[in-house]
Structure 1
Amino acid sequence: MKRGIGLLISLLLWASLAQANTAFTIQDIRLEGLQRVSPGVVFRNFPLSTGDQATSRSLSEATRKLFASGYFDDVDLLRDGDVLILKLVERPSISKINLEGNSVLKDEDLLNGLKQTGLQEGDVLKRATIEQIRQDLIEVYAGQGRYGASVDTTVEPLAENRVALNIKINEGQIASIQHINIVGNTVYTDEELKDLFSLKLPHFWTFYKKDDRYARQKLSGDLERLRSYYQDSGYINFSVDSTQVSITPDKKHIYITVNVTEGEKFTVRDVNIVGELVVPEDELNDKLSIAAGDIFSRRQVTVSQEALQRRIGDAGYMFANVSPLPELHDDNTVSLKFFVSPGKRTYVRRINIKGNTRTADEVVRQHLTQMEAAVASNASIELSKQRLEKTGYFKTVNVDTRPVPGTDDQVDLEYTVEEQQSGSFSASVGFSQSSGIILGLQLQQDNFLGTGKKVGIGVSNSSVLTEYSYSFTDPYYTVDGVSRGFNLYYRTRDLNEDNVSAFSSDEIGGGVVFGYPINEFERLSFGLDLKHLKINTNGDETPDEIYDFLDAEGDSYLNLIATLGWSSNHLNRGFFPTKGYSHGVSLEMSLPGSDLGYAKALYNFKLYAPITDDRQWVTGFRARAGYGTELGGNEFPFFEHFYAGGLKTVRGYQQNTLGPRDSKDDPFGGNAFISGGAELIFPTPFVGDKSSWRTLLFVDAGNVFDTSCSDTATECEDGVQLDELRFSTGFALSWLTPIGPLSFALAVPLNDKDGDETEFFQFSLGQSF
């Protein structure tokens, strides 16, 4: 009321002045009455300024706009000569916001939300803002299924033109869905269709899933899922005619009714690709996932459309358009045409790199498969992005394609990277049941001085192994991606502490390795290592087999070892993969002139197949096999034996305890090795960030064999005996903690025999499975 009276008085005043013909040029504007509102706010909302002509119309409009800003309760316009005086009465400021009755939404969250909508302590009180916030809060609670929520606001006057805003909230109860009715369906039952919905009736897990709460967005998604289900099953004319959502008077229960028309089921009569075919038609046909005779599926039409666009884009037509055109026939068949409009072939004029403050441009460009002045290819552009992401140099990589002004067949590419610390200096502590405490110190720089070279220095110490190492790798020793690396190491082992035959060794060596890329997934490696090894016995604890070997071959060896490897990695990530496969073969062989002659081969295989689209449920399979043999009349070295048992091979059996045993009845390992297993990976319950956790059920199998047993071995079956494979099953969990992976397993052996050393609980800090 006060605001209206002030506005009326101001308008009457200037009406009388206008009648007196008092229009004037404003020489200055003076403000009176400001306390908290800044002069800038006034002048932004008062359209007149010095030098303007003041008339009754202009002053009336300016006054209305100033009132409309909501900062003032009263505005008086006065004149002192050619000076315009604005006498202002500010609205009160909010000194305190009091919340009452809220428990589902915390005070801090509510105050932050009010702040984002323009209401916080210290602001000028605006009635319109308060009403808008009241409505917004009611909508927030409605979004949680609390349709009975109410919000009341009161303003409490305080001294010095201040007020306290009291917000009293009645959160109400959550309204649950009591009935979902689908009308018009004959092909599928109500139960089949309601299973597609994310909205559910109350059930046993409702308290956890909270899927019985109605939300408009969820219903829209469910209707689209219903529409896709029918149209993917051939019902191309399916439609949702109407939906009714009703709520009971007490606002506690919701009823949903969906009216549908199914239509007839259609099959595909023929599929044709028409238009300007810049790619051979047979190649385009290979990309189609729908064919004549198939039941019509909207999903397969979309998949085919996207596959065609990608193939045409790979040929350089980046802005190609592929439009599916279905033609319905009276016999419930549909002719499907994909109309291709490729546009002009596109070339890359320039590739710009942004954001690389440390990494040299040429290092970034080494990973690009898309070249300047070449035909633009969507596949090459995306592959370049993926290769940059895999380097580990960058936190994010984004690529932007920009048409070149004045042309219709050229683009510029801009790769924007955000660098991250690619070097590290870290100390780590781990523990395993077999090796005890594991201490490590690592200095690693994967992008040394921005050159892309890798330099590493490492120290590791445990009761079993002490190691010092240095490595250097140039991943682009040649422009074709051939890598070259060097390494030096010194290590000592005390195998008496690792569930195997009692002996220790000192080893020093170094080598060089070259890697040759075959394609984006496959790689060959060739290496040479020169190592000196000294074997130390442990008196009566050392078994006869080792003494026999030392009598025949001596206790000190200088060997030149050649290594050959092939790997093919199609896994979608390094840690905890959820899709893809990898396998590889490695061969290690001593060369002529070495003190010992032997060869070892090892094969590794992993496969992950997601069960659900979100890749939360996954089946996993793994297999390993190894074989070693002597060369040149030497006996195969016992210190190169394979071992099995433990977290990495067959869980439920103690580390390294499977297979042949020596004369002291300690595990002796063997020259042949088989292990494998199947896993069911499922989401870790009660964990927010599931990317750092892996839980699974498993079945493991494996054992170690000796194809040329020593005569002194106390327990040995010559050759590979598949009926001697050990099996186990159980539950396993691995967690990527800040200090390293923590893994444990609860395992039950399925066919253990007398003498087998079993373990129900196994764990390790510092390695994952």
Structure 2
Amino acid sequence: MKQLLNIKKENDDLGKQVSNLVNILPKITYIKYGIALLLFACNFTIQAQDLEYSNGKKYTLGDISVSGNTTFSEQTIITYSGLRKGKEMTIPGEDISNAIKKLWNSKLFSDIEVYITKTEGNIAYLQIRLSDLPKLNELKINGVKKGKKESIIRENKLTKGVKVTENLITTTKNFLTKKYRKDGFFNTKIHINTIDVKDSIQTARVNMVLNIDKGEKVKIKNITFSGNTILSDKKLRKSMKSTKKINRIRLLKRSKFIDSAYQADLGHIIDAYKENGYRDARILSDSIITNNDKTISLKIDVNEGEQYTFGDITFIGNTVYTNDQLKRLLRINKGDTYNGILLQKRIADDTKPDAFDITNQYQNNGYLFSSINPVEVSADNNVIDLEIRISEGKPAYFNSVTVVGNDKTNDHVIYREIRTRPGQLYSKANVVRTVRELGQLGFFDAQEITPNFNNPNPVEGTIDMEYSVKETGSSQIELQGGYGGGGFIGTLGLSFNNFSIKDIFKKEAYKPIPMGDGQKLALRLQASRFFQTYSFSFSEPWLGGKRPVQFSTSISHTKQFLFNPQTRNADKSRSFNITGITFGLAKRLSVPDDYFTLSQAISYQRYDLNNYNTGLFTFGDGYSNNLSYTIGLSRNNTSVDPIFPTGGSSFAITGKFSLPYSLFNGVDYDALDAEREANDNIRTDITSSPLDVADASTRIAEIDQEKFSWLEFYKVKFSGEWYTQLAKNLVLRPKVEFGFLGAYNNARGIIPFERFYLGGDGLGNFSLDGREVIQLRGYPNQSLSDQDGGTIYNKFSLELRYPITLKASAKIYALGFLEGGASYNSFRDFNPFSINRSAGLGIRIFMPAFGLLGIDFGHGFDPLPGQTQKHGWETHFIIGQQF
């Protein structure tokens, strides 16, 4: 006789019902000799065979056997069930129920049955019959492209061999339905079928067919409101940030329906009322109407309530700050229209870590454990009296400050930038500033820098600070090609931005180069048929290791060959060589604030001309010396990521000055200028003999050689740019630039070097004569200045940026731009409103190994100098250059 003590379970989340049914078995009397009572409840079937009892009976367990379709060993199943030979228990009773519950909770089996196979006196022999849950054998996905299938398998863990449970099927359906609805496929339907595999293998296996019917994207044709009289439909629709009706001219917000975004936007509608004093406003109902053209319309019924104003606002619990000080932070007065959103932002603005609010005022001065809660104490006559209850707590101090995640960068490079120190009073502003400084180093993924607050102890007033960083490749290879200067130009550059010069002689430090001390080392080679440039630069950001004083030096050499118009090749016998060296110091200031940097540099360039006669220089054989001093003041407080700043600004003003040689060298430049003018008249006079013209030209070259043997000039430049986040991830960047090259002595004149060349992609193809190439997209390179360059330029640009991805491996953002600028030869010609205008689109890709790459399509709205038709479209390809 076999007595069934528990029967099959169809749903693995109903174990409790199994226990209850087993427990009531002693209360049911079954008819002897084969009469069976079938009971159906909660998808369970309980059967009894040839057993008569009305109460449970105590037995001692004999042998326990296991049968059924399972790959687990008998001993494993018995051990896991908790049943053991020799155990005394009541049958039926709690012990059997608990054993079955344990087996169900393992989620490894599809059905479980426990039988009494026989009894001998008070000894009962049990059999556990069960079947394994089937494993996934093959998966077929229909309804999506091949490239999307792998992500579906990965996200839902539908790998071969996984146990196929009802929970797996249900969660897969829910996940995919939500996923596609989020993308605007509101009518998505997911069907999953399983088919048993029949073969010689005993393991239970199934094939799964996953059918995905996304349907068409559902767009919103219209959004209408009822019950609103205070705020118009237009204003309410505007308050919905992500749910928009169809508008053909809107580019940044789509009209697809996403339920989660819609639910959030219903809350934004209420926020719009709260901002206008209607704190009791609520959504009475909302409905989705399906239109015949496969679009939907949204109808929202609101109850606006009545308008409230602020009444008395009192502060309770404040001892650190006076009521007047807190009122100045709150900036809300009695009688103002009630605005619950504004009130919360003035207390704690979660959208801005450095917001000017009461919470930050406390937290920036050590009160990490403070809490500020506004409580409405009265709302009589629609006037709300508030108590702002403050629990200040103890001042908090940093107990320990650590950094994790830096495998290459040495600790001292990081710790010298950290604004939080052990034993220092807690300051949220210092934590935010530390994150910014670590991001600006360029050694870490700025999006992954995380400040972790560990072990906060309000009683002791301490907290442990941990900064988690993720290192990125900080060295770059520059490979650049282009056409300019009369031929193809190739560039090879190596830039090591986290170099360690002290380990340069340590063999074990080359992995592949010595790294970790935050120094920068750059080598650059640029060449074409017509010129060659070699440069080396090195900088140490903390000279001496104790102060943020940057030391930098650079050495360069350029050789330019004269273009032969007959052979259209370079004449190697005629050259113009430039050799230069620069030493600089830049010190971070503390006044007015520590975003300011004062930089100074001494530089020397030697210009040698060897039979190099062009229209740019009046002497073809000779030299010029350029000894100059540069001083600059800059302020940069742009937000964390230097590749994609979302806030802050950057300003710089620099002046470059040579010595005023004409004040002390004893040369009468007025006389030289008069002599030069006289010789120039002879040279241009058609009645002059060839011999006189030759002598005049020779004398002019001699005069110019004397005038420019030591260059005398001053140069002033200014640039400023701002970053403003208009919406999430949408950043506006205006920028202005100005430059002026002048002379101390008008008789000596403005030098033919150091000039501005405007137009094009901004890439300095070669450093001939120390020129500065100013980018203005939409026009050919250097096309908006005279052949000899300009002495004045101004430029204005407006750029709108949107990130596609900001991952460490590749940061990509799209941009649109408006630009305008011009260069001039003197202040007599200067007109800041007469500019060359352009507009266009572009994309930037930053990869740590190669720097910034990009392409721009610019449209020039104005003609080039000497032309009458607008220039039109120009394509610019960018490598290793950031605007």
Question: Which band: TM-score by shorter chain?
Answer: 0.7 to 0.9
Structure 1 segments unaligned to the other structure (5+ residues)? 661-666, 708-718
For the structure 1 residues 340 and 537, does the alpha-carbon distance in structure 2 shift closer, same or farther, using more than 3 Å as the test? farther
Give 2:340's aligned residue.
298
Deviation at 1:175, TM superposition (A): 5.5
Q: CA RMSD in A?
A: 4.5
Query: 1:729 pairs with 838, 842, 863, which one?
Result: 838
- Residues 605-653 of structure 1: per-residue CA shift (max 9 Å, x gap): 2333547322526262322222232469855431222333334344455
Q: Which residue of the partner structure matches residue 483 of structure 1?
A: 550
1:415 and 1:597, CA in 2 relative to 1: closer, same or farther beyond 3 A? same
Matches within 5 A, 1:712-723: 719-722=828-831
Select 1:645's aligned residue among 747, 759, 768. 759
CA distance in 1, matches of 2:410, 2:266: 52
> 1:218: which partner in 2?
261
Unpaired runs of 5+ in structure 2? 1-5, 10-37, 39-43, 349-356, 501-513, 565-570, 666-708, 762-773
Partners of 1:690 and 1:451 in 2: CA distance: 22
Q: Tell me: CA distance 1:515–1:150, structure 2 relative to 1, closer, same or farther (3 Å).
A: closer
1:643 touches 1:673 (CA, 8 Å); kept in 2? no
Compute the displacement of 1:219 (Å).
Answer: 2.6
Task: Return the offset for 1:46.
Answer: 1.7
Q: What secondary structure sits across from 1:418 in the alignment?
A: coil
Question: Which amino acid in the other structure matches residue 489 of structure 2?
Answer: I
Q: 1:191 to 1:527 in 2, by over 3 A?
A: closer
AA matched with 1:754 = G
Would the aligned equivalents of 2:409 and 2:518 in 1 still touch at CA under 8 Å?
A: no
| Aligned residues of 1:649 and 1:702 also touching (Cα < 8 A) | no
Does 2:751 align with 1:700?
Answer: no
Partner of residue 603 from structure 1, selected from 711, 717, 722: 717
1:560 to 1:323, Cα distance in 2 relative to 1, 3 A: same
CA distance in 2, matches of 1:493, 1:749: 34
Aligned residue number for residue 275 of structure 1 = 317
1:322 paired to 2:390 = no
Structure-to-structure mapping, 1:169-318, within 5 angstroms: 177=220, 180-197=223-240, 198-202=242-246, 204=248, 211-213=255-257, 215=259, 217-240=260-283, 242-245=284-287, 256-269=298-311, 273-279=315-321, 283-292=325-334, 294-306=336-348, 307-318=357-368
Distance 1:153 1:421, change over 3 A: closer
TM-score normalised by the chain length of structure 2: 0.71
Q: Which residue of 1 aligns with 2:860?
A: 748
Find the partner of 1:46 among 68, 81, 101: 81
- Give the aligned partner of residue 109 of structure 2: 71
Q: State the one-letter code of the partner of 1:459.
A: R
- Return the match for 1:517 from 588, 595, 620: 588
Match 2:429 to one of 360, 379, 395: 379
Tell whether the 8 Å contact from 1:734 to 1:768 is kept in structure 2 after alignment: no
In the TM superposition, 1:352-391 aligns within 5 A as 352-391=402-441
Residue of structure 1 equivalent to 2:161: 122
Which position in structure 2 is the counterpart of 1:412? Answer: 464
- Aligned partner of 2:605 in structure 1 is 531
Amino acid at match of 1:467: T
Contact 1:459 1:468 in 2 (8 A): yes
User: Which residue of the other structure, out of 588, 606, 611, is the alignment partner of 2:656?
Assistant: 588
- 1:384 CA drift (Å): 1.7
Cα 1:466/1:341, change in 2 over 3 Å: farther
1:677 to 796, 807, 827: 796
Amino acid at match of 1:158: K
- From 452, 457, 476, give the equivalent of 2:517: 452
The answer to whether 1:23 aligns with 2:67 is no
One-letter amino acid of the structure 2 residue matched with residue 486 of structure 1: T
Taking a change above 3 Å as real, the CA distance of residues 451 and 185 of structure 1, as seen in their structure-2 partners, is same
Residue 151 of structure 1 aligns with which residue? Answer: 191
User: What is the aligned counterpart of 1:656 among 782, 786, 803?
Assistant: 782
3-state SS in 2 of match to 1:566: strand
Distance 1:630 1:308, change over 3 A: same
Matched with 1:351 is 401
Q: What's the offset of the Cα at 1:700? A: 0.7
SS in 2 for 1:339: strand
Is the radius of gyration larger for structure 1 or structure 2? 2
State the alpha-carbon separation in 2 of the partners of residues 105 and 493 from structure 1: 53
**How many angstroms apart in 1 are the aligned matches of 2:578 and 2:365?**
55
2: distance between equivalents of 1:243 and 1:694? 40
**What's the CA shift for 1:585?**
1.6
Q: Which amino acid aligns with 1:287?
A: L
- For residues 137 and 457 of structure 1, the distance between their equivalents in structure 2, rounded to whole angstroms, comes to 50
Larger mean CA deviation between 141-150 and 724-733 belongs to: 141-150
Could you tell me how far apart the structure 1 residues matched to 2:190 and 2:469 are?
A: 48
Deviates more, 1:514-523 or 1:432-441: 432-441
Report the Cα offset of residue 566 of structure 1: 1.0
Deviations 1:7-56 (A, max 9, x none): 9999869999x999651477xx6655565447797367523357755653
Q: Is the 1:583–1:603 Cα contact (8 Å) retained in structure 2?
A: no
Cα deviation 1:182-206 (Å, max 9, x = unaligned): 2221112223323433334455479
> In the TM superposition, what is the alpha-carbon distance from 1:229 to its structure 2 partner?
0.8
Q: Is the 8 A contact 1:536 1:555 kept in 2?
A: yes
CA distance in 2, matches of 1:165, 1:650: 59
2:559 to 492, 498, 506: 492
Contact 2:805-2:811 at 8 Å conserved across structures = no
Q: Per-residue displacement from partner, 1:39-79 (whole Å, max 9, x unpaired)? A: 79736752335775565332454246436746254656668
| Pair 1:67–1:675, CA change in 2 (3 A) | closer
**What SS is found at the alignment partner of 2:429?**
helix
Q: Secondary structure at the match of 2:342?
A: helix
> Once structures 1 and 2 are overlaid, which stretch shifts more, 438-447 or 309-318?
438-447
Q: Which moved more, 1:85-94 or 1:685-694?
A: 685-694
**CA distance 1:293–1:407, shift in 2 (3 Å):** closer
Q: Number of paired residues? A: 732
Residues 532 and 559 in structure 1, CA contact (< 8 A), matched pair in contact too? yes
Following the alignment from structure 1 to structure 2, what is the Cα–Cα distance between the partners of residues 333 and 38? 74
The Cα of 1:459 is off from its aligned counterpart by 2.0
Kindly indicate whether the alpha-carbon contact (under 8 Å) linking 2:196 and 2:206 is maintained by their aligned counterparts in 1: yes
Q: Does 1:473 align with 2:561?
A: no
Write the letter of the residue equivalent to 2:844.
Answer: W
Residues 756 and 823 in structure 2, CA contact (< 8 A), matched pair in contact too: no
Give the whole-Å Cα distance in 2 for the aligned partners of 1:610 and 1:673.
29
Q: Do 2:194 and 2:206's aligned partners in 1 also have CA atoms closer than 8 Å?
A: no
Post-superposition shift, 1:504? Answer: 5.2
Amino acid paired to 2:109? Y
Offset at residue 349 of structure 1 (A)? 2.5
2:473 is the counterpart of 1:430: no
Residues 487 and 52 (structure 1), Cα distance of their counterparts in 2 relative to 1, 3 Å cut: farther
User: What amino acid does structure 2 have at the position aligned with 1:211?
Assistant: S
AA aligned opposite 1:602: V
Q: Which letter maps to 1:523?
A: T
Q: Distance in 2 between matches of 1:468 and 1:43?
A: 79
| 1:352 to partner: Cα distance | 2.6
Structure 1: how far apart are the matches of 2:818 and 2:136? 62
Residue deviations 1:229-287 (CA, integer Å, cap 9, x gap): 111122233223x2243566999675644332223333445655553141465554443
Which one of the candidate residues 740, 763, 766 is aligned to 2:876?
A: 763
1:508 and 2:579 are equivalent in the alignment: yes
